Structure formats: structure tokens, C-alpha cells
């Protein structure tokens, strides 16, 4: 695969920009569905500072990392990194990857449905896609919305931008609908549990969960997505005859 060589001005970014525990949980989810990454052609989009690309490389994967910005310092294998705009068509051939990973990416793009279609196009028929995003359906995020008027992690910085460059929240209903339209099926959903989710008030959260979720679709009334600041989806292409 030919990588893009165009360069932009280097952008400083935190080495670990994802929420605490996200990388570890995503890796556990990947191992559950792909026990071995050895020689697996893998895409990390967006790669940011490359810490997760580095982990994939250490697991034996053949990593190709993409980001819209030339983030520095970069910790992943630099020979496999290139610039790409996930708001557009990706510079990747059809059916290229065994695994595509997008950690905290879909909430940054202008069209999440377009991203899912592109990920589906670039993934092999027997490959999987793993996507994480802030869990706007969680109890904590819904409380923030009630009190502040916006989901957790989507606070406006001014009239034109939101925190961390987020554009729009991605809820579970959107993901299910957009995945189906992209010819994908969601085969697993996990959340990144934070210590504060398990505190002394857990009994109270469990007490109110049936009432708080009563108007939601049945699949949204459980502990997923009620707990966890980050939600992780595992997707694969739907069989042609489905």
C-alpha cells in the first residue's frame, strides 16, 4: 500500500488523549475477537500520538496509522504513518485490513455514517472494526445533559467549537442505524468502567436504572450503556445473504 507523503505543520497533542482505561479495554476487546494479531494488517485511525499503534505493533500486527494532523512527538512505528482526512474517502484499497481501530474518532468527524461506510469498504469480509466514543447514553452523561444542557465531554468552548475538537455526540441508536445502512452488524458492545462508576452510590444508580431507562429501547436498559464514560463497538460486515 502506498502511503501519503504530504506533510502539514506538526501539531502538539497529549501522548494519551483517550479517556483513562480506554486503550486497555480496547485491547482486551480486540484479543477477545482476534486472539492473535501476528501479521494481521491493521489500521489505527485516528492514530494521534501513536501510543495505540505502538501497542498493536508490539502485538505483532502490521500497522498502518492515519491521522489528519502530523502529531508530534509520535510514538508509533513512523514508517507506517500517513496523513488522511476521515471526513473524506480514505486512501486505502477495498478489503485491505483484518482489523480497523478508531479510538475516540467518530465524534470528531463531520459525517459518522460516511466513516462507517469507509471502514466497511476498507475491511476484509472476515475482518472486524472496533470503534470507541464517549458514552452519551450513560447515566453520568445524561445527568450532565440535564444540568448543563450538553452531554459529558461535549461542552462548548465558544459558539463554534466544543471541548477536545468534538463535533457531535454518537449515541447507541445512531450507531445501530448507521451500521445497518453501511452493511455492518454490531457483534459486541463494551464500556470503559471508571472507579467512580463503582462507588458507594452504585446501589442508588442501580435503584434508579429501571426508572431512568424505562422509555428507552429494551437493549438500552441494561448496565451497557448505563455505566462507563466510553463505549466500544465491535462490528463486522453482514453476510451477503442476510
- Judge contact between 189 and 225, C-beta under 8 A: yes
Residue 226 predicted with pLDDT over 90: yes
* Span 204-228, average pLDDT: 94
- 5-14, 75-84, 170-179: which range is least confident on average? 5-14
Q: For residue 6, what is the DSSP state?
A: -
Q: For residue 76, what is the DSSP state?
A: S
Q: Which of 147, 116, 146, 157 is nearest to 133 (CA)?
A: 116
- Count the residues in the chain: 242
Place of cell 513512523: 78
Residue 126 predicted with pLDDT over 60: yes
- Judge contact between 130 and 234, C-beta under 8 A: yes
Q: What does the alpha-carbon distance between residue 152 and residue 230 come to, in Å, rounded to a whole number? A: 10
Residue 4 predicted with pLDDT over 50: no
* Span 167-186, average pLDDT: 97
* Span 165-185, average pLDDT: 97
User: Cβ of 5: how many Cβ atoms within 10 Å?
Assistant: 7
Average pLDDT value over all residues in the chain: 90
- The predicted pLDDT at position 80 comes to 87
- The predicted pLDDT at position 195 comes to 57
Residues 6+ apart with CB under 8 A from 205: 139, 197, 226, 227
CA angle 145, 146, 149 (to 5 degrees): 50
- 6-10, 35-39, 90-94: which range is least confident on average? 6-10
Q: What percent of the chain has pLDDT over 70?
A: 89
Q: Give the chain's domains with CATH numbers.
A: 22-237 (3.40.50.150)
Residue 223 predicted with pLDDT over 80: yes
Q: What percent of the chain has pLDDT over 90?
A: 80
Residues 6+ apart with CB under 8 A from 190: 25, 29, 224, 231, 232, 234
Q: What does the alpha-carbon distance between residue 211 and residue 215 come to, in Å, rounded to a whole number? A: 8
Strand partners, 101: 44, 130
Give the pLDDT confidence of 95-119 residue by residue, as tens digits: 999 999 999 999 999 999 999 999 9
3-state class (DSSP) for residue 111:
coil
- Give me 167's grid cell: 463535533
- The predicted pLDDT at position 2 comes to 41
Residue 6 predicted with pLDDT over 90: no
Give the pLDDT confidence of 42-66 residue by residue, as tens digits: 999 999 999 999 999 999 999 999 9
Q: Which phi and psi angles does 95 have, rounded to 5°?
A: 55, 45
- The predicted pLDDT at position 16 comes to 61
Residue 127 predicted with pLDDT over 70: yes
Amino acid at each position: 500500500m502506498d502511503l501519503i507523503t504530504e506533510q502539514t505543520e506538526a501539531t502538539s497533542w497529549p501522548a494519551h488523549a483517550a479517556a483513562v482505561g480506554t486503550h486497555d479495554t480496547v485491547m482486551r476487546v480486540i484479543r477477545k475477537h482476534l486472539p492473535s494479531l501476528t501479521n494481521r494488517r491493521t489500521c489505527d485511525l485516528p492514530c494521534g500520538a501513536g501510543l495505540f499503534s505502538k501497542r498493536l505493533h508490539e502485538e505483532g500486527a502490521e500497522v498502518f496509522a492515519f491521522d489528519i494532523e502530523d502529531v508530534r512527538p509520535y510514538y508509533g512505528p513512523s514508517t507506517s504513518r500517513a496523513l488522511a482526512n476521515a471526513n473524506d474517502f480514505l486512501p486505502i484499497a477495498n478489503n485491505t485490513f483484518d482489523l480497523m481501530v478508531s479510538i475516540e474518532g467518530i465524534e470528531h468527524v463531520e459525517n459518522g455514517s460516511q466513516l462507517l461506510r469507509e471502514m466497511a469498504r476498507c475491511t476484509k469480509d472476515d475482518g472486524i472494526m472496533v470503534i470507541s466514543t464517549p458514552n452519551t447514553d450513560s447515566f453520568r452523561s445524561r445527568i450532565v445533559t440535564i444540568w448543563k444542557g450538553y452531554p459529558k465531554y461535549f461542552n462548548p468552548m465558544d459558539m463554534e467549537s466544543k471541548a477536545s475538537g468534538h463535533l457531535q455526540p454518537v449515541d447507541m441508536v445512531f450507531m445501530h442505524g448507521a451500521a445497518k445502512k453501511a452493511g455492518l452488524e454490531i457483534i459486541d458492545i463494551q464500556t470503559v468502567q471508571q472507579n467512580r462508576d463503582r462507588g458507594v452510590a452504585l446501589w442508588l444508580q442501580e435503584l434508579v436504572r429501571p426508572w431512568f431507562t424505562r422509555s428507552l429501547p429494551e437493549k438500552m436498559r441494561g448496565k451497557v450503556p448505563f455505566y462507563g464514560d466510553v463505549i466500544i463497538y465491535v462490528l463486522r460486515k453482514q453476510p451477503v445473504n442476510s
